[in-house]
Structure 1
Amino acid sequence: MNKEKQYDIVIYGGTAAGIVAAVQAKIMGKSAVVIEQGRRIGGLTSGGLGDTDVGMKQAIGGLSLEFYRRVARKYSQDGACWLFEPKIALEVLQDWVVENNIEVVYGERLELKDGVTKQGSKIISIRMESGNVYRGKVFIDATYEGDLLAKAGVSYFVGRESNSQYGETLNGIRPGNELPGGIDPYVIKGVPSSGLLARVNSHPGGNIGDGDAKLQAYNFRMCLTDNPDNRLEIEKPVGYNEADYEILFRAIEQGQRSRFFKLNRVTPDKTDSNNNSGISTDYNGMNHNYAEADYRTREQIWEAHRIYQQGYVWTIQNHPRVPEEIRAAYKPWSLPLDEFIESDHWTPQLYVRESRRMIGDYVVTEHDVRLENRVPDSVGMGSFAMDSHHTQYYVNKDGHVSTEGGFYIKLTAPYPISYRAIVPKQTECTNLIVPVCVSSTHAAYGSIRMEPVFMILGQSAAAAAALALDADGIVQNVKYEQLHSILVQENQVLYADV
């Protein structure tokens, strides 16, 4: 069945950013479709990230703030609620879809070989693996991976720039150990000829501050419960590989007794459980080819992460090499029977913390985040810490296992994000806007990559798309004064109060 449909705005990616973009498109009287690769909208917002990476609340406005207010109303609370269950986030997003009569297409993926049809620098249509074709006047890539921007011929970067490229301090290779000292890196302790442990590299791959193609680690944000009436125990997964947990065992032997994974409660009996130390739920080093991979390879990476993480929790709760007091502390936590019912109570959304990042005419850097640059065309603000998870394990100069790549630098104030960071170079594409895989360095993206910010940028992207449609159709030609006026009217926060 080959359908061909025409829309004002085609939104690829049913993330929270994509849904918000569709709401704003409807507010401005434009026809829109949201194309979701999977079976669930919301991305990480409905996928387990219920402990919102807020940053500074005063920087969050517009539909992004409205989302958190709607969550609060679901819990009969006043104001905004930043802690919530995945099922509640999904309800809020589904309410928006119904109220605004948004067309959402599920289970459709962009054909990666030749799925984007362009005339010159303009996208005419995109074709899915199913053969269905979606024609649009403006396109928004709201995915975490950036497949549409890549296949449309837009420049992008994967990995970490060198510090020298943009005069930064946090980019590139960053040794720094979040493991207990003294962890032997060899399969047989003290015997180099036995080989290195799984996932441990012999060196970091370069000097401090050098760039590379590696990505910070992924994991799943687990929603866990200790309510005995709502629990499904996490079992040892098929494919469990004990060798994958040797760093864990040795960290415990070297004295680690806590921080195996977070148990941040979002309700009295549910958590948002995230990585919490150098050996935790992040599958360090096993996602480096994800950004450029085909769907089959990405599915294999997803499955490897699931097996690792379920196996990790099972190990913490049950393995004889884990001391009884640690096992007992984590044992009550299980999967909630009332979450992710359609996917065996495990979130379908891998935490793709970073994938492709567009290279536009404006690249957001540490200097923007530190308020060292004047940004005259803000479309929203970031305010979370500059935050990167670990990228790899390696053998440090002491001959022990070390983490590499992590940083967490808190900010003193929010910073504006330039409109030019969400549009490509005009020579490359004139009718695409990118609110998630924005034009940014790895260091700056460590702060931008938060769900409230993606929603903010999704709303601004759709407003800009609507203005482009009312003018010459070229997103780079949108008059900022007009865009600013609409965004202020929609309660976006564009600059900090001076």
Structure 2
Amino acid sequence: MKRRDVFKNGAVAASIIPIVGCASDDAGLAGERASDNWLQLSKGERGLPDRKETVHYDVAVLGGGIAGICAAVSAARNGAKTVLVQDRPVLGGNASSEMRVHLNGVTHLRPDNKAERETGIIEELLLHNRFNNKQESWPVWDHLLYDFVISEPNLELMLNTQATEAVMNGNTIVVAKCWQLTTETEITIKAKQFIDCSGDGLLAATAGAFYRTGREGKKEFGEKYAPDEPDGWQMGATLLMHSEDMGEPMPFTAPSWAIPYDAEKSNPKRKFNGFHNGLWWMEVGSDGDIIAEQEIIRDKLMAYSYGVWDYIKNSGQIPGAENHALTWVQSLPGKRESRRFIGDYILKEGDLLNHKHFEDAVGYGGWSLDEHCWGGIENLEDPPSYFHYHFHKVYEIPYRSLYSKNIANLSFAGRNISQTHIALSSSRLMATCATMGLAVGTGAAMCVQRKCNPRDIATHHINELQEQLLRDDAFIPHRPAHDPKDLARKADLIAASATVSGDPKLLTDGVSRDFEGVEHGWESHGLPAEVIMEWEEPVKLSKVEIKCDTNVKRNIMMRKDSKVSFNFWNDVPTELLKSLDVEARINGKWVKVGSNDDNRRRLIKFDFDQVRASGVRINLKETYGAKNAKLFEVRCYAS
């Protein structure tokens, strides 16, 4: 919801309609409205509440987790009128204050455990948090996500709203029927493109999209880490806890419904290190309908969690637990797996392990193959996770895995994409899902512009999609940018002031980070510093776009332990440029066309009235602490 519409959006307002007769067929999700006997005292009238609304958008994104946020924002920024529908009161999904899961992705590539951090919209979100949430509060993080979304001018937000049913015209979704719990409103969303980022994928399922659940057997895709035969097991959901040292002994008595933890039967890999921040292995899975069983699973998790806490507090086996007391217990289980929808390509174990190159690559991952124990805490004998494989470099994710095989205008991002159970064990990480969201949101906007569907983008326009993603600060491994509209690539001279490393000519090589040991940027020797681009013949110029350094080899997500180490940082990256300006040489004179003394983004954009310029000069003034400034890309455009 836009800021200006907070108090007048129809989805959150109710009106009264005078009773003129009984409409016996006016039943909806709230029940039979003809029997609603409402006396509105301020008007002295009896009537029926009018709580039905129809709205129109270009793109509808279902699910407001990290993938959904990235999909919605990218669609809106690329010109599509977009709505983001979230069934909770907060955004963020598993990363929200309701669940507080670290926003991991390519967090620890072996052998040095360095990151290969995801950029684009997810980078903006993490930096937004580092600037505005130094206290690292989870509820504040929720509201920063809210701020980020509602500040986007082409994007509307519906919270506490779930898409419950797709209305079809052949193999095309024309309507998503939604229910907003807080306002008892039935909302009909008509859109041209639909993106299901909800995890469970209810809208996609009701549309008739092909999907599967459970584990594939070894033979189907030749997966060595799959079970011998297919079965129904899906990775479990978790309830986390948080405790604090209160400085004095804090007694604990387990509730009557707690299930005692049997330490003697437990695998030794079920460890209690950092117990005060929760134990991810307190989970329950399913070999059946994990969605239908969700309330049962939640009740079990509550019982198991309090049983584990009873063991921590009262067994005498956990050092330091005596003075700890619970300060927060998760109530909504954080899910890992349910429906996996079928696209034109099913991503599988071998694609990840062999680092298969896809011509339609749009995202990437690199978390370990981390298949959690079947049964979860109900299978204590096995280790909590089978860390099958630790990646040394990233793998690619193809666009063909991000849209439906049989529903024409339906895309996915998140854990519900077209992949096997084993592939999911790595790709389910939220920052990895963010790369998918950025891709499908951009793709959906292209579909609207070109009046086509995602398969057409994959078949005929994948180069344009990749180019737009790269311009928007996505990273696609082994796919450098070569935008023909970028005037910087046509510059006759690229030079810079004193240099510590790199070459200023690398600023147009199409790769916006140092990657796999190869340098792709230029670093100044001290500050201030400058980069100059010149053309023999003047060019029309109205945009300069710069990608600066934020040290993507170091993680900046919020953690419960506020960790600072060689690969974690809990503040604004010191390498980020804070102050710079841009000049254009017009008729032989340098004229300032843009400045920014409070930069907070890796992708820095300057838009100005078009000029004819024979050169551009970027003056780098200050970082957030680093003594040198480093750039990875400079682009220039006429419009």
Fold match (TM-score > 0.5): yes
Find out whether 1:109 has 2:162 as its counterpart: yes
Aligned residue in 2 for 1:48: 100
> For 1:372 and 1:23, how far apart are their aligned partners in 2?
29
Q: Secondary structure at the match of 1:126?
A: strand
User: Judging changes above 3 Å, is the alpha-carbon distance between structure 1 residues 422 and 160 closer, same or farther for their aligned structure 2 residues?
Assistant: same
In the TM superposition, residue 64 of structure 1 has moved relative to its aligned partner by 1.6
**Contact kept? 2:103, 2:429, Cα under 8 Å:** no
Instruction: Give 1:87-236 correspondences, 5 Å limit.
Output: 87-101=139-153, 102-111=155-164, 115-129=165-179, 131-172=186-227, 209-222=228-241, 224-228=242-246, 236=254
Aligned residue in 2 for 1:181: none
**Contact kept? 1:49, 1:86, Cα under 8 Å:** no
Find out whether 1:66 has 2:124 as its counterpart: yes
Find out whether 1:251 has 2:265 as its counterpart: yes
Letter in 1 for 2:440: A
In the TM superposition, residue 218 of structure 1 has moved relative to its aligned partner by 2.0
Aligned residue in 2 for 1:178: none
Aligned residue in 1 for 2:288: 289
User: Judging changes above 3 Å, is the alpha-carbon distance between structure 1 residues 334 and 38 closer, same or farther for their aligned structure 2 residues?
Assistant: farther
- Give structure 2 stretches of 5+ with no counterpart: 1-50, 110-114, 180-184, 479-514, 517-639
Residue of structure 1 aligned with 2:343, choices 349, 356, 360? 360
Residue of structure 2 aligned with 1:373, choices 323, 347, 356? 356
**Contact kept? 2:118, 2:474, Cα under 8 Å:** yes
Aligned residue in 1 for 2:566: none
In the TM superposition, residue 302 of structure 1 has moved relative to its aligned partner by 2.2
Residue of structure 1 aligned with 2:462, choices 466, 480, 490? 480
How many pairs does the alignment contain? 411
Letter in 2 for 1:73: F
User: Judging changes above 3 Å, is the alpha-carbon distance between structure 1 residues 120 and 272 closer, same or farther for their aligned structure 2 residues?
Assistant: farther
Instruction: Give 1:1-40 correspondences, 5 Å limit.
Output: 1-40=51-90
Residue of structure 2 aligned with 1:383, choices 366, 372, 389? 366
Using the size of structure 1 for normalisation, the TM-score is 0.75
In the TM superposition, residue 259 of structure 1 has moved relative to its aligned partner by 4.6
User: Judging changes above 3 Å, is the alpha-carbon distance between structure 1 residues 392 and 76 closer, same or farther for their aligned structure 2 residues?
Assistant: closer
Q: Deviations over 1:464-495 (max 9, x none)?
A: 00000011231111110110111000111111
**Contact kept? 2:119, 2:474, Cα under 8 Å:** yes
Q: Secondary structure at the match of 2:60?
A: strand
In the TM superposition, residue 376 of structure 1 has moved relative to its aligned partner by 0.7
Find out whether 1:350 has 2:333 as its counterpart: yes
User: Judging changes above 3 Å, is the alpha-carbon distance between structure 1 residues 71 and 335 closer, same or farther for their aligned structure 2 residues?
Assistant: farther
Residue of structure 1 aligned with 2:306, choices 303, 306, 310? 310
> For 1:261 and 1:391, how far apart are their aligned partners in 2?
20
Q: Secondary structure at the match of 1:44?
A: helix
> For 1:76 and 1:86, how far apart are their aligned partners in 2?
11
In the TM superposition, residue 290 of structure 1 has moved relative to its aligned partner by 4.6
> For 2:378 and 2:429, how far apart are their aligned partners in 1?
31
In the TM superposition, residue 137 of structure 1 has moved relative to its aligned partner by 0.9
Letter in 2 for 1:127: K
> For 1:372 and 1:421, how far apart are their aligned partners in 2?
16
Larger relative strand fraction? 2
In the TM superposition, residue 96 of structure 1 has moved relative to its aligned partner by 0.5
In the TM superposition, residue 62 of structure 1 has moved relative to its aligned partner by 0.9
> For 2:332 and 2:66, how far apart are their aligned partners in 1?
12
**Moved beyond 6 Å, runs of 4+:** 231-235, 393-396
Letter in 1 for 2:453: I
Letter in 2 for 1:155: F
Q: Secondary structure at the match of 2:238?
A: coil
Letter in 1 for 2:167: T
**Contact kept? 2:150, 2:156, Cα under 8 Å:** no
> For 1:355 and 1:232, how far apart are their aligned partners in 2?
39
**Contact kept? 1:233, 1:335, Cα under 8 Å:** no
> For 2:252 and 2:345, how far apart are their aligned partners in 1?
46
Aligned residue in 2 for 1:433: 411
**Contact kept? 2:133, 2:141, Cα under 8 Å:** no
User: Judging changes above 3 Å, is the alpha-carbon distance between structure 1 residues 234 and 429 closer, same or farther for their aligned structure 2 residues?
Assistant: farther
> For 1:458 and 1:442, how far apart are their aligned partners in 2?
20
Residue of structure 2 aligned with 1:329, choices 320, 325, 337? 320
Q: Deviations over 1:158-188 (max 9, x none)?
A: 010011101111112xxxxxxxxxxxxxxxx
Aligned residue in 2 for 1:186: none
Residue of structure 2 aligned with 1:273, choices 278, 291, 315? 278
Letter in 1 for 2:282: T
Q: Secondary structure at the match of 2:283?
A: coil
**Contact kept? 2:239, 2:332, Cα under 8 Å:** yes
**Contact kept? 2:67, 2:197, Cα under 8 Å:** yes
Q: Secondary structure at the match of 2:186?
A: coil
User: Judging changes above 3 Å, is the alpha-carbon distance between structure 1 residues 388 and 420 closer, same or farther for their aligned structure 2 residues?
Assistant: same
User: Judging changes above 3 Å, is the alpha-carbon distance between structure 1 residues 375 and 332 closer, same or farther for their aligned structure 2 residues?
Assistant: farther
**Contact kept? 1:59, 1:382, Cα under 8 Å:** no
**Contact kept? 2:250, 2:323, Cα under 8 Å:** no
Letter in 2 for 1:162: G
Letter in 2 for 1:37: D
**Contact kept? 1:378, 1:416, Cα under 8 Å:** yes
User: Judging changes above 3 Å, is the alpha-carbon distance between structure 1 residues 331 and 145 closer, same or farther for their aligned structure 2 residues?
Assistant: farther
- Give structure 1 stretches of 5+ with no counterpart: 78-83, 173-208, 265-270, 337-344
**Contact kept? 2:57, 2:82, Cα under 8 Å:** yes
In the TM superposition, residue 237 of structure 1 has moved relative to its aligned partner by 4.0
Larger relative helix fraction? 1
Instruction: Give the percent of matched residue pairs that are identical in Structure 1 and Structure 2.
Output: 23
**Contact kept? 1:392, 1:404, Cα under 8 Å:** no
User: Judging changes above 3 Å, is the alpha-carbon distance between structure 1 residues 96 and 64 closer, same or farther for their aligned structure 2 residues?
Assistant: same
**Contact kept? 2:373, 2:382, Cα under 8 Å:** no
**Contact kept? 2:365, 2:426, Cα under 8 Å:** yes
> For 2:277 and 2:462, how far apart are their aligned partners in 1?
38
Residue of structure 1 aligned with 2:471, choices 489, 493, 498? 489
